[in-house]
Amino acid sequence: MITLDFPNPIGEEHWGLWIALYFFLAGTTGGAYLISVLFYGHDQALIRRSALWAFGGVVVGSFLLIIDLGQPLRFLNLLLGGFYPASAMWLGTWFLLISGAGLLWVYLRTPSRRLQQMVALLVALVVGYTAVLLMQTAKPFWNASPLLPWLFLASAVTAGGALLQLWRYDERLSRLIVAAALVEGAVLALHLLWAYPAAAKAVLALLAGPLAWAFWGFVVVGWGLPLVLERRSVATAALLTLLGAFLLRYFVVMAAQV
């Protein structure tokens, strides 16, 4: 396990920075590809470019996952070890592999729109399985409510949209991001309320504990400010949204292990 020694007020965590960074990369670049296919199906140049980004996200994310393992050189056991569909991690490994191949194909060969949409389904599975992975654990903050997939998917749309906004601006994209951000905020609030009885310690760590910097940093800088700035300074809003998406993944991953 290769770790960076960040100041960690929480003590020990089993899944830390690399996992949060992977969730962020897969969610953001995957979200950008999903938006391209779903909303800009006619714009093949955009789809190709976002497919390349998403491919990069899958490759870099897989690399982060591998260096996070206790025995990185045994990573092939994930693929060759057998058939374990009950494990979200085993399924996720295959989703990553197949969607990576699909995204590279979309970038290099530009297949028909039907096939691009099938690759989008795989990418949606990559984005969604990360939340199911957390829900499959015994940590109450992750599994007390069924809302984690909603949160991760909504966040993938805001962050993916923000990534696209760095290169292009149009009114539709802006409206999409605002709508997704509102859903994201509502889902997060509902999740905290829902999880509070079972995971009071984690929720309090977010609101006023060792993770408050990440939580309020997300709420103010990574979510509220971009909503205000969306009409005034799109580039700033997009960058802040991306920062917020990382903070969101980071505090969700860390809070359950407080």
Partner 1 sequence: MPNPNDFAILFDASRCIGCKACQVACKQWNDLEPEKTSNRGSYANPTKLTAHTWISMRFYEGLRPDGEPYFDFIRVACMHCTHAPCVASCPTGAMAYREGGVVTVDERTCIGCRFCVQACPYEAVHFDEARGVVYKCTLCHDRVSHGDKPACVKACPTDALTFGPYREMQAVAEERVRVLKERGYSRANIYGLGELGGTHVLYVLTEHPSQYDLPKAVREAEKRAATGWLSAGIAAAVLGAGLKFIVDRREAIKGGGQ
Residue among 115, 137, 186, 221 that touches partner 1 (CB under 8 A)? 137
Q: Is 77 in the site for partner 1 (CB under 8 A)?
A: yes
Residue among 135, 204, 229, 239 that touches partner 1 (CB under 8 A)? 135
CA–CA dist 100, 108 (Å, integer): 12
Q: CB 112 → partner 1: shortest distance, Å?
A: 20
How is residue 140 written in tokens?
């109450």
CB atoms within 10 A of CB 69: 15
Non-local (6+) Cβ contacts of 114 within 8 A are none
Site mask for partner 1 (CB under 8 A), range 176-205, x = bound: x--xx--x----------------------
- State the distance between the two ends of the chain, measured CA to CA, in whole angstroms: 20
Q: CB 106 → partner 1: shortest distance, Å?
A: 19
Q: CB 80 → partner 1: shortest distance, Å?
A: 9
How is residue 219 written in tokens?
């709420």
CA–CA dist 28, 54 (Å, integer): 8
Residue among 49, 139, 191, 249 that touches partner 1 (CB under 8 A)? 139
CB nearer to partner 1: pick between 3 and 233? 3
Q: Is 168 in the site for partner 1 (CB under 8 A)?
A: no
- Span of 41-49, 101-109, 171-179, 224-232 interacting with partner 1 by CB under 8 A: 171-179
- 4 Rama sector, left if φ>0, alpha if ψ -120 to 50, beta otherwise: beta
Q: Is 117 in the site for partner 1 (CB under 8 A)?
A: no
Print the SS3 string covering 193-208: HHHCCCCHHHHHHHHH
Going from the C-alpha of 41 to that of each of 25, 36, 109, 115, 157, the distances in angstroms are 23, 6, 16, 12, 16
CA–CA dist 119, 98 (Å, integer): 9
Site mask for partner 1 (CB under 8 A), range 46-75, x = bound: ----------------------xxxx--xx
The answer to whether 60 and 28 are in contact (CB under 8 A) is no
Residue among 30, 61, 102, 128 that touches partner 1 (CB under 8 A)? 128
CB nearer to partner 1: pick between 23 and 217? 23
CB atoms within 10 A of CB 209: 17
Residue 137 is classified by DSSP as S
Q: How many residues bind partner 1 (CB under 8 A)?
A: 48
CA–CA dist 245, 7 (Å, integer): 21
Residue among 62, 93, 99, 165 that touches partner 1 (CB under 8 A)? 93
Q: Is 82 in the site for partner 1 (CB under 8 A)?
A: yes
* Footprint on this chain of partner 1 (rule: CB under 8 A): 1, 14-15, 38-39, 68-71, 74-75, 77-78, 81-82, 84, 86-90, 93, 124, 128-129, 131-133, 135-139, 143, 146-150, 153-154, 157, 172, 175-176, 179-180, 183
